[in-house]
Structure 1
Amino acid sequence: MARVVGEGVSLNHIAIESSDIKRLTKFYKEMFGFEEVETPNFGDNHFKIVWMSLPSSSFLLHILQHVKNEEDDATPSSSVVKDPSCVRTGQHLCFTISNFHSFIQTLKEKGIEISETNSTIKRVFFYDPDGNGLEVVSS
């Protein structure tokens, strides 16, 4: 029998950079219930990193301290898109949430700008404090 490409594959983690890993760690804990887990020592950790997981899954989120480089100087910070309606067309993380309406209320109470869609699927788009696009759908 031929080996099927993709057989036994599962998502392990997503890594995102942050200018302030403490702030972003707090955001993902408060908004989605992530918990910090032990970060392995690979012997070459020359940067700060926080590993987080969702209690109900094996999925990991790695938040890495952004190290400024020459490319940062070439890209003005004003070029970051802040309009949440633009998240749909860009790269983003998507989470399914059972308490969708109370989650939306929490976003609004925290002053987080959102873009809701008029579709059969209840979903909302917004950015985390470092400008990473997020989508939340109702379960």
Structure 2
Amino acid sequence: MAAEGVCLDHISRETSNLKALANFYQETLGFERIEAPKFTEFELVWLRLSPSLTLHLIERDPESNLVLRESASSVVRDPSKCPRQNHLGFGVSNYNQFVASLKKNGIQIHECVRPDGKTKQAFFFDPEGNGLEVFSL
């Protein structure tokens, strides 16, 4: 039985460079930095996009035994493969302007149109190699 009143509160991403990843989300997607709890074991940054959605960026544990995928900076990522991979999607009202700014900033993208023939989509990666999508509203 599903719990009542469930809503998405936050998404977390682990990173070895908090400052760079936070700057990317703030400058590229307009996230705002908000107050975060102070942990003694690791650093973190909390960002808010809307009153109901936050992104928690957490310092990668250097002692972790987990196998980490390579970061986007160490491998050529193909945005045309992103639609099938795990990604976060964001609707934007200024799609053409937004995509132009991605290109201006040297972010490699893959554009396509949804099967409805109307909704434009662009796929790309953040500095840690996490897939992102923006689509026209």
Q: TM-score range by the shorter chain?
A: 0.7 to 0.9
Structure 1 unmatched runs, 5+: none
Structure 2 unmatched runs, 5+: none
Per the alignment, residue 2 of structure 2 pairs with 5
TM-score by length of 2: 0.85
Q: Distance in 2 between matches of 1:122 and 1:104?
A: 10
Matches within 5 A, 1:38-77: 38-41=35-38, 45-54=40-49, 56-68=50-62, 69-72=64-67
Question: Identity percentage over the alignment?
Answer: 43
Q: Distance in 2 between matches of 1:22 and 1:102?
A: 26
How has the CA–CA distance of structure 1 residues 138 and 118 changed in structure 2, closer, same or farther, with 3 Å as cutoff? Answer: closer
TM-score by length of 1: 0.84
The structure whose residues are more often strand, as a share, is: 2
Displacement of 1:71:
4.0
Q: Distance in 2 between matches of 1:103 and 1:32?
A: 9
Contact 2:79–2:123 (Cα < 8 Å) also in 1? yes
RMSD of the TM alignment (CA)?
2.3
Displacement over 3 Å in runs of 4+: 69-73, 75-81
Matches within 5 A, 1:1-139: 5-41=2-38, 45-54=40-49, 56-68=50-62, 69-72=64-67, 82-119=77-114, 120=117, 121-139=119-137
How has the CA–CA distance of structure 1 residues 70 and 106 changed in structure 2, closer, same or farther, with 3 Å as cutoff? Answer: same
Which of the two has higher C-alpha Rg?
Answer: 1
